Amino acid sequence: MTVAIISDTHVPDREDEIPEEFPDLIREADHVVHAGDFTTEETLAEVRELATELTAVHGNMDPEDFGLPTVASVEVEDVTLVVTHGDVVHETDELVRTREDWNESISGTARENGEEPVVGIGGHSHELVDRVYDGIRLLNPGSVTGADPAESATMLTADVADGELDVTVHEV
């Protein structure tokens, strides 16, 4: 099963559109995860239209009336993907200020909301991440549009089978 992992779209407040190289990757995925910051209802609708199945969370730049959760979990091929935006430190509601804060926020949220094996997915920093922190694999696809402060547009795809993820970075 293939999962497209995207975040921090920021259309139209920072970028005009998702780069033309990415919609086919999103459309072809069996499941799409978006870690927040669509910014507009139109952008959320566009991603929903591209996705066969969508798991999405609320980002700090998204209007409250989107009705998206702050944390969502989905099981894919015996792996629990726990998604949150990552703009507050886990359990404290303080704003994320450092990479360590982000790591703690995403890993703590994943551990609290998922069954092993669990992968924590977050956004917010626009920084591409694939690391293990405190025993939890953390993924951040960066910004799918390359919105500032990202240096380029990035997304991830993950082939999931037998409780394992094989992650590929896509960058334009």
CA dist 141 and 26 (Å) reads 13
Kindly report, residue by residue over 134-158, the tens digit of the pLDDT: 999 999 999 999 999 999 999 999 9
Q: Which domain holds residue 33?
A: 2-171
Would you call 45 exposed, middle or buried from its count of C-beta atoms within 10 A (0-12, 13-18, 19+)? exposed
Q: What is the CATH number of the domain that holds 58?
A: 3.60.21.10
Per-residue model confidence as pLDDT tens digits over 36-70: 999 999 999 999 999 999 999 999 999 988 899 99
DSSP 24-56: HHHHHSSEEEE-S---SHHHHHHHHHH-SSEEE
Identity of the residue numbered 140: N
Number of domains in the chain: 1
User: Which pLDDT value is given to residue 87?
Assistant: 87
Kindly state the helix (H) or strand (E) to which residue 99 belongs, with its residue range.
Answer: helix 99-113
Measured between alpha carbons, how far is 148 from 107 in angstroms, rounded to an integer?
A: 25
Judged by DSSP in three states, 67 sits in coil
Residue 90 has pLDDT above 80, yes or no: no
**pTM to 2 decimals?**
0.95
Q: Which residue has the tokens 């259309």?
A: 11
